[in-house]
Amino acid sequence: MFDHEEKLTTIPHEPGCYIMRDKRGKIVYVGKAKDLKNRVRSYFSSGDTRAFVASLPKVLGDIETIITANEKEAMILENTLIKAHKPKFNVQLKDDKNFLSLRIDKSHEWPRVEVVRRQKKDKARYFGPYHNAKSIRNTLNLLNKYFQLRTCPDTVLNNRSRPCLQYQIKRCPGPCVYDIDRDDYLKNVDEAILFLDGRGEELIDGIQSRMYQASEDMEFELAAHYRDQMFSIKRALERQQAVSTEFVDRDVIGFYREGDRLTVQVMFVRGGKLEGARSFSFKQQEFPDAEVLSSFLNQYYGAGNYVPREVLLPVELEEGEAEIYSELLTETRGTKVQVMVPKRGAKKALVETAQMNAQNSFQQEHDKEEQAADLLETLQNRLHLRNFPQRIECYDISNMQGSQIVGSMVVFEDGVANKKEYRQFKMRDVQSQDDFASMREMLGRRFQKVADGEEEGPDLVVIDGGKGQLKQAITVLEDLGIHTIDVVSLAKARVDKVGFKDDEITRSQERVFLPNRVNPVVLKQNSAELYLLERLRNEAHRFAITFHKKLRRKETLLSSLDSIPGVGAKTKRDLLQHFGSLKKIKAASVEELTEVSGIGKKTAETIYAHFVR
């Protein structure tokens, strides 16, 4: 039993981070505090009724502390530790990819609009973030059509000898090939920036004046182009919902919770207009609202997402934290950032809107989970499973004539694919085409860690195959002393000929084989539970095939380079790192080959001659 009283005697009254470990030494929670002793002591007070706190004596093995110079450093350290260890009880952003943004670097000779995920501290202009790929595609399409900026990267721009299709369809003036007026091009860049900034009136006035001028000069085709451009831009700007009269970039945070489940909603207000929103759902969060919200802000902006001028919050953070976040975000943005809880007026109304959206997102997520729970309960009943199949793992083997034997493990949680948990296996012991032996090796490597307590096991294992594959899986688990995990196999439908004519063919139904049962279970065709199992099987097959093809491509590539005299392992590795593919190596000139570290002119000529002969 963990002795918290003894531990508290070693914890100082200093700012820093505390790390909770379970009895196996695994980190389950990371927190920050301006007074470590007081914060840790609060978890063991008799008045704390949170479920997480009540389970601490059973779970907790140790508490470590790291002292920092101030609260600001504690926030930075907390974010680093959560990213590194992904503790079970911390708020974690499942989709840790940054939102898409648009970037224009006006210092370039021929600026272009490019899509980026991370906004850097450079002289470029960034616009966004955009909450989905469709939104950014529509914006790019409009920019390409009416502002005619180049879309190609610098490598293409500097090496093209003839214009591309974008020039042919009049969406690019072709600066890569033709001598065009740079001032006119930069004027288009400035207008694209006006559009992305939402400064519609200024932009439309300029286009309208050029339309009239072109009409007076009897350049009617050009005037028609300006007219179409003006109307399209007007329609695009009208679709944006104005939520503020202030020309300010804001992130408006909404927050809704029921018990240990909560949803955080982020509304993106750019230039006073609502450009999108994103919701994040979390479970097993017994911590106070202020603590959860603070942890979310730390991770969200620590991941490199766009930092606006203002961040509006629904609840007060702990004393002094809003000022610290303002300071941290100001350093990231380069200009002053305010983090505040509005008390009245338009800003408070924005937060209330975000709160309503958070509640709506919470309800939608809850409804989806209820549907998934009903589906999994039906599957449990139909397959006579002991466990509720919240986590399902499906396994498949792939090989080509006994070479490059690989296996795949895909994971569905609550009926949804969790691709971060997917794994690929390259067979170490099995060298010939033996699916049973390959399955034994793959399952043995996976479940040995479960048996050793290093990893948690699933509720249900699905094997792609029939009775033979099922027997192999059961044997592996029993040999490891694992008896609590359900195992089934899903056999593909069979095609049988009934008569002598080609059209007399029948297709059997998908069959699910269960342990200690002779006849398989045949699930109702087109049922949701059968569709779930088929999705699992198909995803495992796809994942295995993808890995297999990758290994075969690599083998083919290496064998192609092996046949070149004087090219060893290091040179092959350097070539692949420099060019990225065999196709590019084959297309490289002698001069380009000599740019690779360690390759002289003689070796470059040998490689070049090998591929051009």
CATH number assigned to the domain comprising residue 67 = 3.40.1440.10
Burial of 349 (C-beta count, 10 Å sphere; 0-12/13-18/19+): middle
Q: Return d(Cα 192, Cα 555) in angstroms, integer.
A: 47
Question: Are residues 537 and 409 part of one domain?
Answer: yes
In a domain, 95, yes or no: no
State the DSSP code for 395.
Answer: E
Question: Are residues 425 and 313 part of one domain?
Answer: no
In a domain, 399, yes or no: yes
Domain boundary among 27, 56, 85: 85
Contact at 8 Å (CB) between 39 and 18? yes
In a domain, 203, yes or no: no
Question: Are residues 410 and 510 part of one domain?
Answer: yes
- What pLDDT, on the 0 to 100 scale, is given for residue 500? 47
In a domain, 238, yes or no: no
Question: Are residues 429 and 293 part of one domain?
Answer: no
**Largest alpha-carbon pair distance within the chain?**
90
Question: Are residues 116 and 63 part of one domain?
Answer: no
User: Does a cis peptide bond (omega within 30 degrees of 0) precede residue 308?
Assistant: no
Q: Which tokens hold the place of 335?
A: 């200009």
- What pLDDT, on the 0 to 100 scale, is given for residue 111? 92
Q: Return d(Cα 226, Cα 236) in angstroms, integer.
A: 15
Domain at 594, CATH number: 1.10.150.20
Name the strand (E) or helix (H) holding 254: strand 250-258
Q: Return d(Cα 252, Cα 310) in angstroms, integer.
A: 8
Beta strands at 241-242 and 100-104: parallel, antiparallel or unpaired:
unpaired
Question: Are residues 113 and 74 part of one domain?
Answer: no
Q: Count how many Cα atoms sit within 13 Å of the Cα of residue 163 in the half-sphere of its side chain.
A: 16
Domain at 269, CATH number: 3.30.420.10
Question: Are residues 43 and 109 part of one domain?
Answer: no
Per-residue pLDDT tens for 63-96?
A: 999 999 899 899 999 988 988 888 888 887 765 5
Question: Are residues 193 and 109 part of one domain?
Answer: yes
State the DSSP code for 111.
Answer: -
Domain at 403, CATH number: 3.30.420.340
Over 481-525, what HEC string results? Answer: CCCCCEEEEEECCCEEECCCCCCCEEECCCEEECCCCCCCECCCC
Residue indicated by tokens 């309960």: 377
Q: Cα separations (Å) of 152 from 92, 136, 149, 493? A: 36, 17, 9, 48
Domain boundary among 322, 345, 364: 364
β-sheet bridge partners, residue 257:
262
Domain boundary among 35, 52, 85: 85
Q: Which domain holds residue 514?
A: 391-549
In a domain, 43, yes or no: yes
Over 172-185, what HEC string results? Answer: CCCCCCCCCCHHHH
Question: Are residues 292 and 338 part of one domain?
Answer: yes
In a domain, 235, yes or no: no
Phi-psi region for residue 268, left (φ > 0), alpha (ψ -120 to 50) or beta? beta
In a domain, 110, yes or no: yes
Question: Are residues 444 and 298 part of one domain?
Answer: no
Q: Which tokens hold the place of 255?
A: 């927050």
Q: Cα separations (Å) of 182 from 108, 178, 206, 208, 340? A: 11, 11, 19, 22, 44
Q: How many domains does the chain have?
A: 5
In a domain, 219, yes or no: no
Contact at 8 Å (CB) between 318 and 290? yes
Q: Which tokens hold the place of 8?
A: 């508290």
Number of other CB atoms surrounding residue 120 within 10 Å: 10
List average pLDDT for each run of 10 residues in the chain, which is 613 residues long.
80 92 88 91 73 72 91 90 86 65 89 83 78 74 83 84 85 89 90 79 84 90 85 69 68 90 89 80 84 91 86 92 93 91 91 92 86 91 94 87 78 91 87 83 92 89 91 93 93 60 58 90 87 92 82 62 74 78 79 84 83 65
Q: Return d(Cα 513, Cα 530) in angstroms, integer.
A: 13
Nearest to 534 by CA among 379, 310, 421, 390: 379
Contact at 8 Å (CB) between 415 and 425? no
- What pLDDT, on the 0 to 100 scale, is given for residue 196? 80
Question: Are residues 522 and 429 part of one domain?
Answer: yes
Vertex 66 angle, CA 264 and 288, to 5°: 30
Question: Are residues 436 and 405 part of one domain?
Answer: yes
Contact at 8 Å (CB) between 31 and 291? yes
Number of other CB atoms surrounding residue 128 within 10 Å: 24
User: pTM of the entire structure?
Assistant: 0.62
Contact at 8 Å (CB) between 61 and 25? yes
